[in-house]
Amino acid sequence: MKKYTVLLIAFLIFTLSCNEHNSKALTKNSIPPVAEKKPVNLEKHGDIRVDNYFWMNERDHPEVIDYLERENDYYDKMTAHTKNFQKELFTEMKGRIKEDDASVPFKSNGYWYYNRYELGKDYPVLCRKKDSLSSQEIVVFDNNVMAKGHPYFSQAGYTVSEDNKIAAFGIDTVSRRQYTIQFKNLETGQVYPEKIENTTGRAVWANDNKTVYYSRKDAETLRSNQIFKHVLGTDVKNDELVFQEDDETFYSYVYKTKSKKYIVIGSSSTLTSEFRCTLADEGSSEFTVFQERSRGLEYSIAHFENTFYILTNKDGATNFKLMQTSEESTQKENWEEVIPHRDKVLLEDIDIFKDFLVVSERENGLNKIRITSWDKQVDYYLPFDNETYTAYPTTNVDFDTTTLRYAYNALNTPSSVIDFDMVTKEKSVMKEQEVLGGTFDKNNYVMERVWATARDGVKVPVSMVYHKDTKKDGNAPLLQYAYGSYGSTIDPSFSSIRLSLLDRGFIYAIAHIRGGEYLGRKWYEDGKLLKKKNTFTDFIDVSKHLIKEDYTSEEHLYAFGGSAGGLLMGAVVNMAPELYKGVIASVPFVDVVTTMLDDTIPLTTGEYDEWGNPNDKEYYEYMKSYSPYDNAFAKAYPTIFVNTGYHDSQVQYWEPAKWVAKMRETNTGDNTILFHCNMDAGHGGASGRFESLKEVAQEYAFLLDLEDIQE
């Protein structure tokens, strides 16, 4: 009997083993969906581009929906063998996060405000306490209750009237970033019936406690182009249009100064700014222009006492300078210099206090916080002791205080919120991010900043972190990340989620490529318009440097980028596919020429100063030379995972869908190209604190599977 039992067990083990093998084999041999070709000729400047998949641009068409669903089904089959691992990764990442967490309270107008999370819930509870933190908690909004029944939920623009009685708030349940503004009586809990549709989500209160200003979007392009005034209790249909931005390359917005004296309407494009002001006490419809727009003149304004402070690039101040002027004389000829322009220091922001001016600077890529007194007796920098940190002022709502609140973290150091006394220089750590699980020790992780030489001789900085046991022998898997557009700087910051890669031997590298502002404004200008290719070649040259220095090799190097960083990924896999084992492109902007020629698509007209206007032949030809979709020709691609959201308002779903179809058509290799479309999400992915971790688990499982790491 024992003999037959042993044989039976052996047979079962063999059968299960074969079934598992066959399952994986079937998965790997699954056939991807084939997108039907329906050629459309797109002509511009006498040049004809043939788009075989233009039909995917028709949102909600049954054929499009069917194709996306077939792609999702293919993705599910191809990744079926990683599903359990994805769940394990999700549980692991979630397990490091303190669920019943809360933000550090800040005081505003007699109330302490904070957000907190409850165990097992995805959304924050927004609370306040009157006068003292020992007072009874008042729940203003419970997003968990508000989100019920919605596959996607986002609340934005929460503002309270000056008498503390009414809150304005915006809700988006589609993920198109078209918010509906509503009002809640904080004394009775009543939500008023009026709803203001298609806004940016934020209402700005005048000091009369009944008038609000808000930005409305163009229904088709989603450009915020109108500022309206609404009086509480009146019909929204009667709201007064107080400003309309007719230049399609600009967007408009509205805010109240920290001094609460002015309501300010801003109009901005990539290269130009304009502001207009009215007194907040009056609920006025008449706004006075601060300084007329002049192409290339960028400025922002802050107000204190009887003076406006202006951060500007006036007179060739590429890295910006600080100026001031009186309330009565706001035109630029009256501006007086406070902090001069410096060639090697980027002036990023200011925070004004009664006795101090706090300046956020960036030098050699590093954040600096400078504290000066108005009487010139004090001038010093906060000390930071490494090259891979991020530090910045946070919520500072009061003028009459000596306390500066700022945040600090590094690639191996969890985030802290710190209250710093600018007189005594004493600091109080108000909160340190907890990393649960009992195994995290920052001393187990090594940080480095290295410099790679680009092909034109420019030095490109790279911030890296890895486990101290990871060997630099060329065999370590390395995930290289970058963005590289809009002057957006990717600072080296801590991530407890990223530990799931570092603890499995991955090196994580941020390439601070041109197109961001890591090394100042010129660093940005050298990675845009007709210099955009510097962004792509910088990334590739960083990859080559990391391989040369034995951090990794072509067999273990991975690349990741999203949105404009997804464009980067598309360009990189066209230009140097042989360098990468795998690539993740999230919500990638890849059909550049077609999108930039269509001014009905959200964001297009406002992007001309970033990418160029392809109605100009020079920009058309340059753009076409790097656009990933237009350059998906015969080549052996690495293994690629592309994801997107069906409701994305910034990069329409059809761009990655078409790109994947064309890459599969032209791929000369046998590596897999995967595509997943979240049918309930937009540009930011799934809503909810933990739901988004499932998408990260998908990406990490993709990488780890390619490294044959199963647990």
Q: Is 660 left (phi over 0), alpha (psi -120 to 50) or beta?
A: alpha
Q: Which residues contact 242 (CB under 8 A, 6 or more apart)?
A: 213, 227, 228, 229, 265, 285, 287
Question: Do residues 264 and 250 lie in contact, with contact meaning Cβ atoms separated by under 8 Å?
Answer: no
List 563, 586, 627, 687, catalytic entry: 563
Q: Which of 647, 648, 649, 676 is catalytic?
A: 648
Cβ atoms of residues 145 and 184 within 8 Å = no
What is the rounded CA–CA span in Å between residue 646 and residue 651? 10
The single residue listed with the structure tokens 């709502």 is: 397
The answer to whether 683 is a known catalytic residue is yes
330 vs 308: CA distance, rounded Å: 8
**Using an 8 Å Cβ cutoff, are 437 and 96 in contact?**
yes
Residue 286's nearest CA partner among 198, 206, 210, 197 is 206
Q: What is the DSSP string of 557-616?
A: EEEEEETHHHHHHHHHHHH-GGG-SEEEEES----HHHHHT-TTSTTTGGGHHHH--TTS
Q: Find, among 330, 307, 324, the residue nearest to 258 by Cα.
A: 307
Do β-strands 111-116 and 106-108 pair in parallel, antiparallel, or remain unpaired? antiparallel
Residues 62, 67, 70, 72, CA torsion sign: negative
Distance, in Å, from the CA atom of 286 to the CA atom of 277, rounded to the nearest integer, reads 8
Q: Among residues 430, 345, 355, 356, which one has the least CA distance to residue 394? A: 430
- Please check whether residue 249 is in contact with residue 264, taking contact to mean a CB–CB distance below 8 angstroms: no
Active site annotation includes 563: yes
Note if 538 is an active site residue.
no
| Residue positions annotated with a catalytic role | 563, 648, 683
